[in-house]
Structure 1
């Protein structure tokens, strides 16, 4: 009679599977995601059985990802009971999305279990934790985000046979556009910091004068959908990318976010830097060339000074002397 695997053998197999896992690409297959979730559940059940003594309290220990984030633990305690419930439910929702090959936004998932999560933030934190646990991006788990950025210009998008013309009116940038087929061939992309600037350029006929351009705004600090959209366009079609931001600490931070990505990276986001991003517009170093009285400049507030110092450190790390020079000019 053939002897079956013991529970310990199954748990060891699941552990080996998780430890050898690498970050999944956006088009990761459904079977791999489902298998990882099932393996996590198996590890959890084993740790639950072992958690009878005070020395074995950890139920889930999320693996540290490759993006310099701290370890994430969920313990069998009153303090972490809610957090564990949120993450467990998020895992179940993602599992259902994968096996049914359906998609949902984070807002959809929240309202599906609003009585459990209580606030959107609890669901958002849980999704991030699951991304770290599975070493997979959020979109590869069929979880979409409601975009904040908008685009208009010489861009025709084919989304599953449905044609979307971005030249007639501004279109909200969504996760669906990251894998779409583009039918037009624009010449360059201009990203502006503010929605007011975006609307003003349209009113002034920017897209009529530059008919082969794409105009984008993230409405301030860009969200993930906007950055992924730009990453896809620039990497696939090798389009020049220009950014028009203010020359104050906030504008420079936004420009650096586009070019180098967020300060904290995770499996949820992935690599979204835009190395070909070129910051344009009137800079502080150029303003100094004009006869503008010094008293016309607003002094930096305490929080802005701290932000400037922090950005100087990051610019030096990236060896971006253009940004560093502009930040130093703000101190003068």
Structure 2
């Protein structure tokens, strides 16, 4: 009954040429479907069965991803232009609505952030245009597991940006964080028939690495113990093929299992990050939502910001020298 209801709505969307979303389908018969995940799975299975993309069924995904950074402009099919800025996130339009992108020539890096709360903090701190970095960047979040629109944006950037621009990901140092990273880089099982158009192979894992916590002077007692679900997920990922489970990822998962602890992004707030000598004299701008409030040298006030300034700069240097 559930499948036939999805087929019915899909047929209606195709005949009337009025797109429907997965959310629309769910709310057409909540008692029948029970939960949104049922609709998501049925639509994806339907597309895979007919070897079609979801958009070919006139079923659109609801956007949830955000992007920050003044170096990106999105032109929509209807003529509207979406200008992004350095201090707040803009909703990423669905791919079917975008006619073209414009990216500033001076963009030096792209950062994908797993969590929206962390993304919003980085927007307020204006990471995308921070003077301590080698150049401006673009910050993206899919708010956890990314929606298709977010993956399409990352894929577009991966395919079109010059090779010296790193595309980095900041995720939790646990099995679920790595799985989210894998969705961006290698694609997902549920949309494996679309992975060629969605997987962004250039994405690299910036952090958080469980193996670097000692170097950051993070108290091991501050780490979160892994759960049975974490352990099960980690073992499942370790069984993946080497082509989608790089050695670095494998070592980090084994490190997590051995220590029985996981490192979430927020743990960096307790770190004592040591600024690199060659950037130690650079002034660190502190911001509120209303703009800069003072200038100061690096301090432990924003350990996550220091952490990212160091690591993004290192990756940019590495790519430029390559």
TM > 0.5 fold call: yes
Task: Give the conservation status (yes or no) of the 8 Å contact 2:116–2:143.
Answer: yes
* Residue of structure 1 aligned with 2:111, choices 187, 190, 201: 190
SS at match of 1:314: coil
- 2:277 match: none
1:272 aligns with 2:198: yes
* Residue of structure 1 aligned with 2:143, choices 208, 219, 223: 219
Q: How does 1:34-113 map to 2 (within 5 A)?
A: 82-83=1-2, 85-97=4-16, 100=17, 102-111=18-27, 113=28
- 2:281 match: none
- 2:229 match: 303
- 1:155 match: 72
Kindly state the Cα deviation for residue 142 of structure 1 after the two structures are TM-superposed: 2.5
Q: CA RMSD in A?
A: 2.9
* Residue of structure 2 aligned with 1:283, choices 209, 212, 228: 209
Task: Give the conservation status (yes or no) of the 8 Å contact 1:249–1:307.
Answer: yes
Task: Give the conservation status (yes or no) of the 8 Å contact 1:315–1:324.
Answer: no
TM-score w.r.t. length of structure 1: 0.64
For structure 1, list consecutive stretches of 5 or more residues without a partner in the other structure.
1-81
- 2:291 match: none
Kindly state the Cα deviation for residue 94 of structure 1 after the two structures are TM-superposed: 3.5
1:203 aligns with 2:124: yes
For structure 2, list consecutive stretches of 5 or more residues without a partner in the other structure.
260-322
Higher relative contact order (CA 8 A, sep 6+): 2
- 2:269 match: none
1:296-318 per-residue CA deviation (whole Å, 9 max, x = no partner) reads 54432222111111122226453
TM-score w.r.t. length of structure 2: 0.66
CA 1:311–1:116 in 2, change beyond 3 Å: closer, same or farther? closer
- 2:156 match: 232
In structure 2, C-alpha distance between the alignment counterparts of 1:183 and 1:196, rounded to whole Å: 27
- 1:67 match: none
Task: Give the conservation status (yes or no) of the 8 Å contact 1:192–1:218.
Answer: yes
Task: Give the conservation status (yes or no) of the 8 Å contact 2:155–2:200.
Answer: yes
Task: Give the conservation status (yes or no) of the 8 Å contact 1:191–1:242.
Answer: yes
Larger Rg: 1
SS at match of 1:202: helix
In structure 1, C-alpha distance between the alignment counterparts of 2:194 and 2:208, rounded to whole Å: 35
